Structures are given as structure tokens and as C-alpha cells.
Amino acid sequence: MSLFKKTPPKSAAKPCCCVVYDDLGCVSRNLFDEEFPTSSSVRASVGHTIRGVRLGVDSTIECKADGSVFATATPEIMPRCCRIAGTVESGRNKTRGKVIAGVSDLAFLPGFAGEVTVSNSGELCRLKTQVRHKCLSVVSDNAFKENHDLAVALNAVSCCPRLGVAAGVATAVDLKKIDFKQCPDYEFKSIDGRINFVHGPWSIFLESANFGKDYSLSVMRKMLVPHFTNEMIIAARLSAHAACPDLSAAKTLKDKAAAVNAALTPMGTLAVRTKLTDFSAAKIKVDSMGVVGFSFSEQLSQFAHAVFAVNVDATQLSKPNNHKFAFTLTLMH
């Protein structure tokens, strides 16, 4: 089991490019949630290294489901152990600029990464720090907002590779109206927990969210299918809301079952991923609400990756607005 994702050499110099807490159980999370985009986008990232210093530009154009277009452009310079970048975001008649500075892979602070982002609107200042160890990782993500609120998030992950067990917890707190003269009001936004167990081809992933009110359990297995595909992954996920059903007005067994279903709101999802070739893979998932998703990913070349995705509401085939088609293209050089 790998606790942290292995990033390509280009992104290795970008500190805090991903939250370690989300890396926990990434196999099952990717199977259900990733490569099923709901908006079409094109991302291009080009760069050139001169005497150990990389100069690059990262740009994205995204067309969302409501027809709005969101675009970003990020020129960056990455000398040894550092990254300096400026971002311009434009969408919905609003433009925002950012200046980003970060450090990572310092010789005297191994496993440490930090990043500061300054913006002219929204989140005026964001500070991310990350400390990674072989069996423990802690991420702090703090943002000072335009309305003088302070958002504080702390994520921690630990693992035991010998047992194949990893566990993580994440907390998010909002401090209201920071004026540095009086104690601010605070509000806990979330306390989430995750635990992942891997044994051979089996993987079990349990997640709780919203202060223990929402739970999801995923069971996944890898297998080989001779003469059909090199690798296939089959997984099932069950999610439910922890609530006490109101049975006071339920008289029949059918009414009681409806009350329990309304309180728990269970939903099951079955997903399958098959590796067609060394450069292409297909995914399909079906949930108990009647939504069917299909995606096909292809590594077009060494520098290009494409994903096609279709989401269909099988319960309302006559309503085209309930069906979504998306295409993403990533170009990197």
C-alpha cells in the first residue's frame, strides 16, 4: 500500500499540490470519483529547464455544465527547492489574480513543504504547510478571507505498512471576523475520519463525515481475467446517513421501511475498471439511484492524455438535461 501518490518529476517541485489526507484510500476513491468529469476542459502545461531552473506556463480552459467558461493562466519559475508563480483566473465576469511562493525538499528540513498564496479577492492569503514522514504526515491549510474570516484545516495520516492499515483524520474550523482585538467566534465545519485496510488483492475503505453523520464503506478487489484483460478492478460502495428514523406515524411494515429508508438514505454503487491496453482503460459505475457512468481514458502520446465520460440517468431517459457528456484533454511538456 502506498500512502502518498507518486507524482511526476514536474509536479514534485510544487509543494502542497495535493492534500495528504485525500491520498488515503486513493485507489477506491479514484475508482468511484475520478475520471468521471462533469465539465469539459483543456489543460496545457509547457516548460523548459535552463541551468537547473525550470520556466513554465500552466493554463486551463474549462466549460462547465451551465455553459459558463472558466480560464486560468499560471506562469511559474522553479529554481532548486522553490517555486514562484502568478495566476490569473477569469470566469463569471470576475477576474482574480494570485501570487504563489513555495519551498520543498530542503536539505535541513527533509519532508517539509510550504506554500503561501496572496490574492486580491476571495481568500486574501493562504498558508499551507506539510510535514511528511515514512509512517506519518500532517498538513495544515489556513486561509484569511476577504470578509475577515479565518479558515483553519488540519489533516493527519498515519500508516503501518506491515499490517496494511492506514488511518487519517481531518478537521476544519472557521474563525469569524478576525480583528486581532477580541476573541473571535468559531465554528467547527467538519471532523472526518478514514481508515483503509489492504490485504493481497482486497482493499476495504471506511469513511465518516459531517461529525459522524455520514458513512461510506467500500470493498474492492483486483483480479486478472485471462484472454480478456490484463487487469480488472471490481468494487462496491455503500453509503448511508446515521439518523434515528421517526416511526411514530408508521403503522404498517411498508411505512416503517419507508421511514427507515428516509432517515438513512442508503445508496449503493458498483464500479468496474478494466485495463484495455497498456495505454487505455475503461470504467463503468452504476448506483442505486439509476445513474450510469462510463469513462474511457487514453494516453494519446507521451505528452497528451484524454478522458471521455458519459453520465446517464436511466430513470429519466427522456430528459436530456439529466445526461452529461464531458471531455478533458491534458497536454504536458
Model pLDDT, residue 129: 93
Are the CB atoms for 220 and 198 separated by under 8 Å?
A: no
Topology classification of domain 1-199: Porin (2.40.160)
Are the CB atoms for 150 and 6 separated by under 8 Å?
A: no
Mean pLDDT of 167-179: 82
Q: Which amino acid is at 53?
A: V
Label residues 241-263 b or e (16+ Cβ within 10 Å = b).
eeeeeeeeeeeeeeeeeebbeeb
Model pLDDT, residue 21: 42
Instruction: Give residue 84's pLDDT band: very low, low, confident or very high (50, 70, 90).
Output: very high
Mean pLDDT of 167-188: 77
To the nearest whole percent, how much of the chain has pLDDT over 90?
29
How far apart CA 52 and CA 80 sit, in angstroms, is 7
Show Cβ contacts of residue 290 under 8 Å, excluding neighbours closer than 6 positions: 313, 314, 315
Per-residue pLDDT reduced to its tens digit, 97-141: 999 999 988 888 888 999 999 998 888 999 999 888 878 888 999
pTM above 0.95, yes or no: no
Mean pLDDT of 291-303: 91
Mean pLDDT of 139-167: 87
Q: Which residue has the higher pLDDT, 319 or 216?
A: 216
Model pLDDT, residue 153: 92
